[in-house]
Amino acid sequence: MPSYALQPRALTVGSGSSAVTTTRWGIAGTGGIATAFLDDLVHVPTAEVVAIGSRTRERAREFAEPRGAAALTYGELVAADLDALYVATPHPQHRDLVLAAIGNGIPVLVEKAFTATLPGAHDVVEAARQAGVFCMEAMWTRMQPAVLLARELVAGGEIGDVTSVHADFGAYRVYDPTHRLFAPELGGGAVLDLGVYVISIAQHFLGTPDGVTATGTLYPNGTDASASLLLTYDDGRGATLITTLQAATGGRATVTGTRGSIELSPPFHHPTRLVVRRLGEEAQQIDAPAVGRGYAHQIVHVQECLAAGLTESPLMPLQDTLDVQWVMQQTLEQIGVSPQEGTVDLTTG
């Protein structure tokens, strides 16, 4: 199989401008993904973390002091002088933080799943649009060099008209009803945590489906353990998607068209390789590595959007977030799960 490699894209913000400014980030949450995001921030010289918010001052200090950032409560964080806020709390604890930050004019990058519910997502999107404040779901997959390239190839007609997407994302996790991945009050379940990726990749290449048919399994506490989805389009296109917390799956996504296919090699949610199969030709492998763990690309993208004065990302527009959230809601309703939004203590002091 012929192959070639792309160099990682340079992680610079803006093009041709001599005025490079630093974006001062705040981070809400001190868990796993907040740590990964901070680790990758070092790859973006124009990004700086200036404040960390936590439910407890002690935890905020533990996290912030080694990084030279201010240790704040969530209430203080959403009122702080920031250029951007990254929200890395569990899904039901996104909405309150994001609404407060938007209310104070702070641009927000919100972890997936954007919210726990579709009404929660609508609340946030309406607030952002009304305030004219930048807001984006942290669907970092869309900013990966390999995914950007796949989109370019599709737009260039390399595989003809896209007719279907197939994607799977499963990980084996030991059931622990107190853990974020399983606890209903923390938005537990496969669909909001992993299913969001398969749905979002289908949305990215096919657009909003006309129909959703889903089946799945539940844990003893009623959160979803797995789901299989068929997304249908009135013109005959379709997507077959699976997600589970009960088994490691291949983690592959394939976009198929009338003249070939593009495989986003595992793990498709941050792939570093594509396999392009054109009708009548030998498969071509293309390496497109990411920088660091891959989170820096979305940081750069947000900073570029802010520098350009945008209030929405062209790669991850809010309508796509709402449509993905709608598919998740349809899926969860069909398998008998009703997530709820939570609350976040935003008192200061």
- Residue ranges in contact with ligand NAP by CB under 6 A: 29-34, 54-55, 59, 88-91, 93, 111-112, 138, 140, 180, 186, 193, 344
d(CA 274, CA 261): 10
Tell me how far, at minimum, the Cβ of 222 lies from ligand NAP, in Å: 18
Grouping H, G, I as helix, E, B as strand and the rest as coil, residue 216 is strand
Rank residues 93 and 203 by Cβ distance to ligand NAP and give the closer one: 93
Q: Which residue is nearest to ligand NAP (CB)?
A: 31
Rank residues 300 and 344 by Cβ distance to ligand NAP and give the closer one: 344
Rank residues 75 and 238 by Cβ distance to ligand NAP and give the closer one: 75
Rank residues 34 and 316 by Cβ distance to ligand NAP and give the closer one: 34
Tell me how far, at minimum, the Cβ of 34 lies from ligand NAP, in Å: 6
Task: Kindly state the helix (H) or strand (E) to which residue 245 belongs, with its residue range.
Answer: none
Tell me how far, at minimum, the Cβ of 262 lies from ligand NAP, in Å: 22
Rank residues 55 and 278 by Cβ distance to ligand NAP and give the closer one: 55
DSSP 113: S
Alpha-helix runs per DSSP H in 279-335: 296-307, 318-335
Amino acid residing at 334 = Q
DSSP per residue, 219-239: -TTS-EEEEEEEEE-TTS-EE
Tell me how far, at minimum, the Cβ of 112 lies from ligand NAP, in Å: 5
Tell me how far, at minimum, the Cβ of 19 lies from ligand NAP, in Å: 31
Rank residues 71 and 318 by Cβ distance to ligand NAP and give the closer one: 71
d(CA 23, CA 250): 37
Taking the CB of residue 197, how many other CB atoms lie within 10 A of it?
26
Task: Check: CB of residue 141 under 8 Å from CB of residue 200.
Answer: yes
Tell me how far, at minimum, the Cβ of 263 lies from ligand NAP, in Å: 21
d(CA 277, CA 2): 11
